[in-house]
Structure 1
Amino acid sequence: MTVNDENSEKSPLLESKVLFGEIKLKYSKWVAYSIVMLIVFSQCYSVISSLYIMNQYAYYAFMKEKYPTRNAIQIAGRSDSACSVNTSIVEYKQQIVVQKLTSEWNIYCTLAQNIPAVLISMNLASYSDVYGRKPFFLVPLIGTFVKNLACSLGIYFKISIQWFIGFYVIEGSTGIWASTLSMAFCFVADTTMPGKTRSLVIALIETSIGLGSIISTSLSGYLIQWTDSYMYPELLSVIIVTVGIILAVFVLPETLHPSRKRDDQVTICQNMRNVTECYTSEFSPLGKRWMFILLILIFIMSAFGNLGRPNVEQIYQMNSPFCWDSVRIGWYAAMRSMAWSFGSIIIIKLFHICTTDDVIAVVGCITCVASAILEGIATTDLYLYLAAGASIGSVVTLPMVRSIMSKMTPPHKQGSIFAGVAAVEVICNMGASVSANAIYDATLDFNKGMTFFIMAGYGGVGIILCLLFISEKKKTLSDLTPK
């Protein structure tokens, strides 16, 4: 432990006075963090629930459009459609056509949402260093509200499914969930000292994403069955995100003290240069440029190893030899999300007893590799459940990288660093989803599990980069230590 670390551990009262007294929080820091987690949860529930609902509605809409005499809801709910249907009958061929149309529609929606989101997410958190945090919490929440409400109305009035792509553009133009996440991390950076507490709170916020995923994936299918409608479950997602907006407006405190605000009024182009500054210059006395570059590469490898998996898993599990129905797929997704999210908290708490964030990042990459390999070689349900169990803490690398980068960044540049990571996460989310589906389609005939082996390869590269970072960091610290 260094002298600075020792002093920070021994002076919690001074830390509390400096950080919390100046910003005048109305309640304890953990209550404030709970509010932030509820806001993140509300948006993630709404986003994931809408994704699940709109995928099924798109299938239904294309079926009604192409083959109006068929009962599309019944077909979409069949558990044996991919395993025991006679491939020579007309109904099966019609289903293949609709699946392709739905898949193409999903790609257009993903691009429409994520392309503008890259630009917006790079700027929102960075501008919050100038104008404060609260306004930029609201922007992506309002975007999700408008998009989900528009989808609900579109379903009710039965407008053409192609028009829904424009609704995704609206959400993307407000920064999507990644911007809310980056704002939450700015909130944490404003109210914690660099150290284990910051790492834990960042991981807890990521866990609220998992909780939103668990509840939405396990509930949406039942809601569609109970209401016999797609509109009411989609409308529920509007109500949930509205709760987040209310919390952000009336309850969430402003945490950026005036003394920490950047004075410069920059253009969008200048702001984007600020976001990438850590990779192009020695912008911080607390971390070298090569450290930031290596960390963002680790982040990219972990993101590609994990974020594209849910998109392929559904197709993988629907087909032989598993032949799972939608309810079983939903519960498996909930179980895996639980292993990812709550497993990360367990790993952080256990490993923080004896080691550091960079070592925990290695552990996350190792579990990513193990679970992806198990899923790739799966021939029975048991292998899939083992893969879900092995994925415990698989995404822990992402919050650990964020935490390390935040520790190396000056207080007045926290928004810029989180904005840069958010933009990278949006690109990775889009790239991982598209590439995972493309690889699965290309290798389906000779090896269904190939896409998972490639994901394991991403994790393997992440392990190597983590070990390189740890080794080079020790050398750098050794050189800086007086002899």
Structure 2
Amino acid sequence: MAKSSEQTSLLSKESKISKDDKNHHPTYVRHLLVMFILMVVCKGGESMASSALSQFIYSWSKNRTAEASGGVNQSNGTSNSSDACGKSESKASEDIAQKLASRWEQYFNITYAVLVYLSVSTYGTLSDYFGRKFFICLAMFGYSLKCAVVAVVIYFDLHIVWLFFGYGIDGILGSYYTVTSFSYASVADITKEKDARVYGIALQEMFIGIGIMSTQIGNGYFIHAYGYLYPTITGCGLTLIALFLCTCLYKETLSNEAKEHVTKNTKPTLMTLCRRYFSFYSTGGSRDDRKAFWFCLLAFISFEVAEMGRAAPTILYQQGSPFCWTSETIGWYTTGNYFVKFVIGCVMLKILQMFVQPSYIAVLGILSCIALDVTIGLAKSSIWLFVSIGFGVLSYLPKSILRGLASSRAPKNLQGAMFAGLESSELICKMFATPGALAIYSATVDTSRGIIYFIVAGINVITIVFIMCLHSVLKKQSSEKNRTIIQAS
């Protein structure tokens, strides 16, 4: 009864909230401009620091491998590489270093994923009570602390086991998963139509992509010239600037009516938070609604497993033979990749929405992913890695569409919990897919290092099956709704 009264009360307040519809468009535009600024600064700093960290771990591993074999150790803070790549005499040491780096990244990622899963799940449901802004600021602050810990490790040439402190602090405070999750939830707060919401979420994805690529080209040269310390410090500074801008510019998107309704009808106890978090898949809505959420979640998880599996070994793959990429080349590739996927992909989404149903657009995106994976796995030279970027032009659309479809079916007072569920499912994927992909890469690096990309392509075939099941459920619900409307008239 409590749940029923909650939904009834919410519907009764919809008329009050809808009075603001005439002023909706300016609010929407202002919010997009603010989020564009925040995402460019925040994700620019995050990508700069994370790219430097990933390359630092590999450099540290190469130096330790050289020490073990009687070679000369170089300073991790100022060195970009430790010996010539691609030479027959360095091949054995390269493989050992890549395996060592893979293992350390597995340990870091598992620790990080567990902590962020707990924090994002909690903060997501709490944000439906207290708003999005506080938790976004908290997550930005946590990431700046992580960058500070990494900078200390690099500067004092400490053992990388100390990086666990940085990952721990960042994970407890929500990390950038909280920032992205609530950026999507904020779009859902101020949009009503399904297509508008899908495209608004896609725009958020594009802002994130622009933020990441904004620093990648320069970051490659920055790392090459000054090592890993200064890019990490710069990433920390940019994150703090984003925190300041968020405090000043971000306007809370969760309406006061929605806050008052939630806090009046339910208290944020542990049981309440758990119920709200899992209600989409267990007790909420009709049986078909729950089936739609389940297929949406399974497609999202399957897609994310493939994404994590592709991303986890990519920098190691590029730095090893036969590519032997430097930080500059990695920067150019990352920039081109994000421009094509997020900017051009977002434009293509707008065009495709005029002619194609969302489920079919998602399938086209999965096919784009498969083409991307196969091309990377078969690549024998750098040119084919760059060619693969073009095949992946639609590769990020499925996530935007699945988020939009799920959000459009969730009650307005549960948007934070719903997006937290999707984002935390990414953490589950990270917990298993990233270590698994790195383990496979480590085991096959000296025989067939591209095999992980073929496995990822196979997982994406499963994603297509889930999306088509989702399409079938949505089509059935749509036909039943139309039949009910005709009978009523």
Q: Structure 1 length as normaliser, TM-score?
A: 0.87
- Seen in structure 2, the aligned counterparts of structure 1 residues 41 and 432 have a Cα distance that, compared at 3 Å, is farther
Q: Which residue does the alignment assign to 2:5?
A: none
CA-to-partner distance for each residue in 1:278-325, whole Å, 9 max, x for gaps?
A: 1112x1369610000001111112212223323322333334443433
Distance 1:418 1:233 in 2: 31
Other structure's SS at 2:313 match: helix
- Choose the corresponding residue for 1:77, options 81, 84, 92: 81
- Seen in structure 2, the aligned counterparts of structure 1 residues 384 and 189 have a Cα distance that, compared at 3 Å, is same
- Seen in structure 2, the aligned counterparts of structure 1 residues 362 and 61 have a Cα distance that, compared at 3 Å, is closer
Percent identity (aligned): 25
Other structure's SS at 1:288 match: helix
Displacement of 1:415 in angstroms is: 1.0
Other structure's SS at 1:77 match: coil
Q: Which residue does the alignment assign to 1:136?
A: 135
- Seen in structure 2, the aligned counterparts of structure 1 residues 287 and 18 have a Cα distance that, compared at 3 Å, is farther
Displacement of 1:337 in angstroms is: 1.9
- Seen in structure 2, the aligned counterparts of structure 1 residues 354 and 79 have a Cα distance that, compared at 3 Å, is farther
Q: Which residue does the alignment assign to 2:211?
A: 212
Displacement of 1:29 in angstroms is: 2.1
1:250 aligns with 2:253: no
Q: Which residue does the alignment assign to 1:149?
A: 148
Other structure's SS at 2:208 match: helix
Displacement of 1:128 in angstroms is: 1.0
Aligned pairs (5 A) from 1:48-447 = 48-61=47-60, 67=67, 69-71=72-74, 76-77=80-81, 80-81=84-85, 83-87=86-90, 93=93, 97-226=96-225, 228-261=226-259, 262-263=262-263, 264-281=266-283, 283-284=284-285, 288-444=289-445, 446-447=447-448
- Seen in structure 2, the aligned counterparts of structure 1 residues 199 and 151 have a Cα distance that, compared at 3 Å, is same
- Seen in structure 2, the aligned counterparts of structure 1 residues 46 and 294 have a Cα distance that, compared at 3 Å, is same
CA-to-partner distance for each residue in 1:409-464, whole Å, 9 max, x for gaps?
A: 11111111011011011222343322222222334455333211111112211122
Letter in 1 for 2:329: R
Displacement of 1:76 in angstroms is: 4.3
Distance 2:54 2:239 in 1: 19
Other structure's SS at 1:394 match: coil
Q: Which residue does the alignment assign to 1:40?
A: 39
Distance 1:38 1:172 in 2: 24
Other structure's SS at 2:295 match: helix
- Seen in structure 2, the aligned counterparts of structure 1 residues 259 and 285 have a Cα distance that, compared at 3 Å, is farther
Distance 1:70 1:156 in 2: 15
Q: Is the 8 A contact 2:378 2:450 kept in 1?
A: yes
Displacement of 1:158 in angstroms is: 3.9
Other structure's SS at 1:393 match: coil
Q: Is the 8 A contact 2:309 2:452 kept in 1?
A: no
Structure 2: unaligned runs, 5 residues or longer: 1-15
Aligned residue pairs total 460
Q: Is the 8 A contact 2:43 2:208 kept in 1?
A: yes
Distance 2:208 2:422 in 1: 17
Q: Which residue does the alignment assign to 1:6?
A: none
Displacement of 1:63 in angstroms is: 5.9
Question: Which region of structure 1 is more displaced relative to structure 2, 55-64 or 114-123?
Answer: 55-64
Displacement of 1:107 in angstroms is: 2.0
What is the RMSD computed on CA atoms of the aligned residues? 2.7
Distance 2:308 2:343 in 1: 17
CA-to-partner distance for each residue in 1:366-417, whole Å, 9 max, x for gaps?
A: 1111111222222343432332110002011001100001100111111110
Question: Which region of structure 1 is more displaced relative to structure 2, 58-67 or 198-207?
Answer: 58-67
Other structure's SS at 2:128 match: helix
Letter in 2 for 1:86: E
CA-to-partner distance for each residue in 1:349-376, whole Å, 9 max, x for gaps?
A: 1111122322221111111111112222
Distance 2:204 2:83 in 1: 35
Question: Which region of structure 1 is more displaced relative to structure 2, 123-132 or 467-476?
Answer: 467-476
Displacement of 1:218 in angstroms is: 2.3
Distance 1:53 1:386 in 2: 25
Letter in 1 for 2:171: G
- Seen in structure 2, the aligned counterparts of structure 1 residues 443 and 106 have a Cα distance that, compared at 3 Å, is closer
Q: Which residue does the alignment assign to 2:7?
A: none
Distance 1:405 1:308 in 2: 24
Question: Which region of structure 1 is more displaced relative to structure 2, 152-161 or 432-441?
Answer: 152-161
Distance 1:155 1:378 in 2: 33
Q: Which residue does the alignment assign to 2:9?
A: none
Letter in 2 for 1:276: F
Q: Is the 8 A contact 2:371 2:391 kept in 1?
A: yes
Letter in 2 for 1:122: S
Structure 1: unaligned runs, 5 residues or longer: 1-13
Question: Which region of structure 1 is more displaced relative to structure 2, 43-52 or 389-398?
Answer: 43-52
Question: Which region of structure 1 is more displaced relative to structure 2, 102-111 or 192-201?
Answer: 102-111
Distance 1:382 1:101 in 2: 28
Distance 1:380 1:85 in 2: 17
- Seen in structure 2, the aligned counterparts of structure 1 residues 304 and 347 have a Cα distance that, compared at 3 Å, is farther
Distance 1:286 1:41 in 2: 41
Displacement of 1:117 in angstroms is: 0.3
- Seen in structure 2, the aligned counterparts of structure 1 residues 70 and 443 have a Cα distance that, compared at 3 Å, is closer
Q: Which residue does the alignment assign to 1:5?
A: none
